[in-house]
Structure formats: structure tokens, C-alpha cells
Amino acid sequence: MSDQQKRISELVQKRADAALGGGQKRIDAQHSKGKLTARERIALLLDEGSFEEYDMFMRHRCTNFGMEKTSFDGDGVVTGQGTIEGRLVYVFAQDFTVSGGSLSETQAAKICKVMDMAVRNGAPCIGLNDSGGARIQEGVCALAGYGEIFQRNILASGVIPQISGIFGPCAGGAVYSPALTDFTIMVKDISYMFLTGPAVVKSVTGETVTQEELGGAQVHSSKSGVAHFKADSEQEAISTIRRLISFLPSSNRESAPTLDCADPAGRVDDSLNDIIPDNPNKSYDMYKVIGSIVDNGEFLEVHRGWARNIIVGFARMNGRSVGIVANQPSVLAGVLDINASRKAGRFVRFCDAFNIPLVTLVDVPGFLCGTQQEYGGIITNGAKLLYAYGEATVPKVTVTLRKSYGGAHIVMSCKQLRGDINYAWPTANIAVMGADGAVEILYGKDLKEIVDPAERSAAFQAKKDEYNDLFCNPYNAAAYGYIDDVIEPRNTRFRVCRALESLADKKVSAPSRKHDNLPL
Ligand code: HXC
């Protein structure tokens, strides 16, 4: 064998050794927990054969606590680039078989390198996290590594899409970096996110809590809103990431890819002409409206399990990516509360940052009132959504289906917040409030003075009819030009597609400033 051939076989052997991470025993342990390895995850995520790995042979330089004896090629993270449906992405996957995927100075340098490349080359960065946080033996050097990553997360925010898959028990810094990214995906029974685990919680606060209760996928996808997606398996989580990428541009310099659309933009749906119940207090399912108007009924919902009174997610209309924001009348009557405002506000800002037009479907009785909401800061939190819509310069098409009352009417992409095209169905009621509340406030005292109950009820009804005739329709708003057109529900897809077509080259400039000061 020539020297060159020897060196080539040595390379092949070194690569094979490095690919084993912390060794076969630890890989088996990972599998026995029902978990995939970092490399298996990358193989599922990227198009076959597209992965190009960097820094496979990097090692840590720590000698504290005998660490020189536990040094592995790659140092607990696999990094590189590849493609998803032929489009470039950068990826890092932490390898739990090496020191529990904990973050060393070296690991941080590897992650930062792919983050920098992603920003420079205008491609999404996807992190597959499985890590016990800062590597304890490296002390402040590990913390500094997190600082470097966080700073890059912040600078990349709004420049390239950043997506975090959570594939293990992530603690400390391992949860703050995902929190700075755009989307977080967790897996049932496999992912946990917490500042620190149950043992430390017990010693600090005395609280006894399981990993699942503290930071499982269910908790973060339904109670805290930390996770945007929950999957039943790692495979499902990874296919969700691939699907999500398909709706997004590679960076803020581009538009999202437009796909050929077999679903005709002019398709009408007669069932929408019958969807609004006669009784205004009855609900219907907004998912039916979304499914009817978007291409092939395909909708990737974000935050499906959290703040379900508002629906947000990605779809396509005539092949173009859109962000859908829709009140859900069948959950809490579609009211806007703190969580709904936070959920939709963040989504609107993401879409605006990445040139994704917004389609807003409105049926909202107002903001939720009461001490619980006031003490939680509904004023500041509601203002987040208001701010997000007012700030957004992407094409904004709004359809008011039924109720659009008070502050919630303004917030939900009204004309004055630079809504580009605002349609209403004939069933729309656009007013300061519903008829019952309005009559009570305006005439309550007078009505109380009518002694005969039948006479009082008739007088109440007469005032309600007067109010409804004046305000509870779309024509009053249309008379002021606040609604551009009243449309037949069956034509909604066609009208929205045409509106988006006309707005494709929209340009808006803003006054210069260092940055905004949104109500955090
Ligand atoms: C070094 C670590 C480590 C860490 C785990 N390991 N976490 N090594 N630094 N942070 C090692 C273990 O020693 C073990 O090594 C291997 O990884 C697997 O860990 P196990 O504990 O055996 O696994 P498991 O039972 O599955 O528990 C996983 C875990 C637990 C829940 C993540 O290890 C844990 O609680 N780790 C500490 C989590 C934490 O509090 N991190 C916060 C760090 S502070 P061997 O050699 O046996 O395979 C931080 C601050 C950042 O991150 C600043 C942010 C603002």
C-alpha cells in the first residue's frame, strides 16, 4: 500500500471512529431510551446524500477534572450544511453520547461557525438540541460559549429563519438559545425544557415535580407556549421541520418559494354561504373556513395547542406562502386574551420579517376583561398584537366574517393599521360593541324605569333593532371606506388570491430609527 493509500485509509478509519461519538455503548443507551442519535436525526432531516460535515475532528481542550481522558472527535455536536427539497440549510445536532451533549467552548465554536455561514449565505439555521446545558467542567468558558451563541441568535433574528428541534432533556443555556429562535418543536415523552431539572427545583423551592410536569412537550405546547409544535415522535418532528421550511424564504432577502398550484384560484365554495349560524351567540369552526380557502386545504398550524381562541399558521394561496391569523369562535368565542395576543403578535412579526403576506380572518367579540387579565397585563400584551399589525408592511388582506367589535376590531388588521384590502362578508358586524351591551349602557337606566316586564323587553328589543340596523352590518363601515368591499362568502378564496396577486410588489418605506420599542 502506498503512503498516500495508507493516509486515505487512515482518514476513512478516523471518520468512522468520529461518527461513533461517545462510542457504541452510549449509542445503544440512546437507542434504548427510544431516541435517535445526532447523525440519525441529520440523515432524516436533510435530502439524501446532501450533508456536508464540518469540524468532525475538533476536540475540547479542557484538562479540569481529568477531562483530557474523555475527549472525543467532534466534541458532542455534529455540524454542517445540506439541503431540504434542494434548498440550502445549515444544521447542528448535539450528540448526547458525548458528555450528555453539554456545551463546551469547542462545541460553541462549531455551532457559531455554522450560524455565521448561515447568515452570510442567507440560509436557515436548524438546531437539533439534546444537551445538559453548559459543560460543568469548563466553567465560565462554557458559559461564554452560550453567550457567543445567544449573540448570534439575536443578530440572525429576522435575517434567516432559525428553527430549534428539542430532542432530549434540555436545561440551562440549552433552552435559552431555542427561546431566541423563531420556532421550537418538541417531542412527546422525549423532550424536556427547563431552566434546571426537578432535583434542583426541589432543593431551591421545595417543590416536588416530575420532568414531564416541569417542562414536557405537553406543558410547553399547551400551557407556556414555549413550544410552537408538538410531535409524537422524532420522525414526525423532523418532517414538521422540513414542512415548515417549505413555507419560508431562505432569508429576509427573498420571498418564500412559489409552488405550482393545481387548486384553481377561482374555486368557489358554496358551503361558506351557510357557515355562519343565525344566532350570533352560536359558534362555528374557523378551521373549516381556512381549509376551504387555502390551496388544497393544506394548513401548517403553529401553536396548535396553546391559546386556541386564535389560530395562526402557514398555508399557500395560488402557490404563494401566506400567514393565516384567524379568531376561533368555537374556543372562548374567539375572544382576544393575553395568550392569544402574544401568540398572534409573534406570528405576525415573523411573517413581516420574512416577507410572508398576512391573511386575517376576523370574528372577534373583543378583548377579555376582568381582574385576571388586567393583573396579567392584557393592556401591554394586547398592545403587542396591535403593534405587530401596525408595524407590518407585508401585504395584508383582511376578511371580517362576523363580529368585529371595539379595540379588537382595530387590532385585527383594520384599515387604519394599514390593512391593504379589507373585505367583509354580509354577516359582518363592525361596531364598538354588540347590541346587548350597547343598549344596556345607553338605555339601561331608562329601561329599568319601565315597570311592566313585557313592555320593558319590547322596548329593549326595539332599541336593539335600531342599533343593529345602524351598526351591526358591514355597510356602515363600507360607507366610510373602512371596508373595501362586501363579498359573498363562497368567493372568498378567489377574492383573497386576486388581492394578494395585486399586492405582490407592494413597497412601503418607514422613517429611519435605531430600532422600535414594541411593548415587550
Ligand atoms: C457535563 C454533563 C452535563 C453537564 C450531563 N452530563 N449534563 N456533563 N456538563 N451540564 C453528562 C453526565 O455526567 C453523563 O456523563 C452524561 O452527560 C449523561 O447524563 P446523565 O445524567 O447520565 O443522563 P440523564 O439521566 O438522561 O439526565 C440528563 C440531564 C442531567 C437531565 C440533562 O444530566 C442533568 O440534569 N444535567 C445537568 C443539567 C443542568 O442543570 N444544566 C444547567 C447547566 S447551567 P457520562 O460520562 O456518565 O456519560 C447552564 C447555564 C447557561 O446551562 C446560561 C444560560 C443563560
249 lines ligand 1 (CB under 6 A): no
Beta-bridge mates of residue 164: 127, 184
- Containing 173, the helix (H) or strand (E) segment is helix 173-180
Q: Please, which pLDDT band fits residue 62 given cuts at 50, 70 and 90? A: confident
Best mutation site among 99, 140, 190, 203 for ligand 1 pocket (most ligand atoms within 8 Å of CB): 99
136 lines ligand 1 (CB under 6 A): yes
**DSSP string across 243-274:** HHHHHS-SSTTSPPPPPP--S-TT---GGGGG
Span from the CA of 35 to the centroid of ligand 1 (angstroms):
16
Atom of ligand 1 nearest to the CA of 200: 40
Span from the CA of 190 to the centroid of ligand 1 (angstroms):
15
Q: List Cβ neighbours of 267 (8 Å cut-off, separation of 6 or more).
A: 493, 494
177 lines ligand 1 (CB under 6 A): no
**DSSP string across 375-439:** HTTHHHHHHHHHHHHHH--S-EEEEEEEEEEHHHHHHTT-GGGT-SEEEE-TT-EEESS-HHHHH
Q: Please, which pLDDT band fits residue 211 given cuts at 50, 70 and 90? A: very high
Span from the CA of 91 to the centroid of ligand 1 (angstroms):
22
146 lines ligand 1 (CB under 6 A): yes
Q: Is residue 196 scored above 90 in pLDDT?
A: no
> Which residue has the CA at smallest separation from atom 32 of ligand 1?
132
In degrees to the nearest 10, what's the CA dihedral of 11, 16, 17, 21?
130
> Which residue has the CA at smallest separation from atom 20 of ligand 1?
100
372-430: per-residue pLDDT in tens? 999 999 999 999 999 999 999 999 999 999 999 999 999 999 999 999 999 999 999 99
Q: Can you point out the beta strands (E) in 267-391?
A: 299-302, 310-317, 320-327, 358-364
Atom of ligand 1 nearest to the CA of 101: 17
Q: Taking the chain, what is the end-to-end CA distance rounded to the nearest angstrom?
A: 66
Atom of ligand 1 nearest to the CA of 133: 52
Q: Please, which pLDDT band fits residue 66 given cuts at 50, 70 and 90? A: confident
> Which residue has the CA at smallest separation from atom 40 of ligand 1?
196
Cα distance between residue 93 and residue 44, in whole Å: 12
307-322: per-residue pLDDT in tens? 999 999 999 999 999 9
- What angle do the packed helices 173-180 and 140-156 form, to 10 degrees? 10
Question: Is residue 185 within 8 Å of residue 164, measured between CB atoms?
Answer: yes
Q: Is residue 472 scored above 90 in pLDDT?
A: no
Span from the CA of 16 to the centroid of ligand 1 (angstroms):
26
Rounded average pLDDT over 239-247: 98
In degrees to the nearest 10, what's the CA dihedral of 209, 189, 171, 183?
-120
pLDDT at 18: 96
Best mutation site among 26, 72, 136 for ligand 1 pocket (most ligand atoms within 8 Å of CB): 136
169 lines ligand 1 (CB under 6 A): yes
173 lines ligand 1 (CB under 6 A): yes
pLDDT at 172: 85
Cα distance between residue 365 and residue 431, in whole Å: 10
Question: Is residue 249 within 8 Å of residue 257, measured between CB atoms?
Answer: yes
99 lines ligand 1 (CB under 6 A): yes
Span from the CA of 135 to the centroid of ligand 1 (angstroms):
7
Span from the CA of 179 to the centroid of ligand 1 (angstroms):
19
pLDDT at 119: 98
127-167: per-residue pLDDT in tens? 999 998 999 999 999 999 999 999 999 999 999 999 999 99
Atom of ligand 1 nearest to the CA of 142: 51
Atom of ligand 1 nearest to the CA of 174: 52
Q: List Cβ neighbours of 278 (8 Å cut-off, separation of 6 or more).
A: none
Span from the CA of 61 to the centroid of ligand 1 (angstroms):
19
Full-model pTM: 0.95
What does pLDDT average to over the chain? 96
Cα distance between residue 178 and residue 94, in whole Å: 13
306 lines ligand 1 (CB under 6 A): no
pLDDT at 158: 98
Give catalytic residue positions: 172-173, 407-408
pLDDT at 510: 85
> Which residue has the CA at smallest separation from atom 21 of ligand 1?
100
Span from the CA of 207 to the centroid of ligand 1 (angstroms):
21
> Which residue has the CA at smallest separation from atom 38 of ligand 1?
132
Q: List Cβ neighbours of 370 (8 Å cut-off, separation of 6 or more).
A: none
Please state, for a pLDDT cut of 70, what percent of the chain lies above it.
Answer: 100
Span from the CA of 98 to the centroid of ligand 1 (angstroms):
11
Atom of ligand 1 nearest to the CA of 136: 9
Question: Is residue 334 within 8 Å of residue 375, measured between CB atoms?
Answer: no
Using CA atoms, how far residue 354 sits from 20, 184, 201, 480, in Å, is 38, 17, 39, 32
Residue owning grid cell 450533508: 51
Nearest alpha-carbon partner for 359 in 401, 387, 306, 304: 401
Rounded average pLDDT over 499-504: 97
Span from the CA of 240 to the centroid of ligand 1 (angstroms):
27
Beta-bridge mates of residue 162: 125
Question: Is residue 221 within 8 Å of residue 177, measured between CB atoms?
Answer: no
Cα distance between residue 382 and residue 338, in whole Å: 6
Cα distance between residue 50 and residue 309, in whole Å: 41
Atom of ligand 1 nearest to the CA of 192: 31
Nearest alpha-carbon partner for 39 in 67, 18, 13: 18
Question: Is residue 30 within 8 Å of residue 44, measured between CB atoms?
Answer: no
135 lines ligand 1 (CB under 6 A): yes
> Which residue has the CA at smallest separation from atom 45 of ligand 1?
99
> Which residue has the CA at smallest separation from atom 53 of ligand 1?
173
pLDDT at 408: 95
Grid cell, residue 505, equals 410588489
pLDDT at 131: 92
Q: Is residue 70 scored above 90 in pLDDT?
A: no
> Which residue has the CA at smallest separation from atom 36 of ligand 1?
132
Please state, for a pLDDT cut of 90, what percent of the chain lies above it.
Answer: 93
Cα distance between residue 453 and residue 188, in whole Å: 57
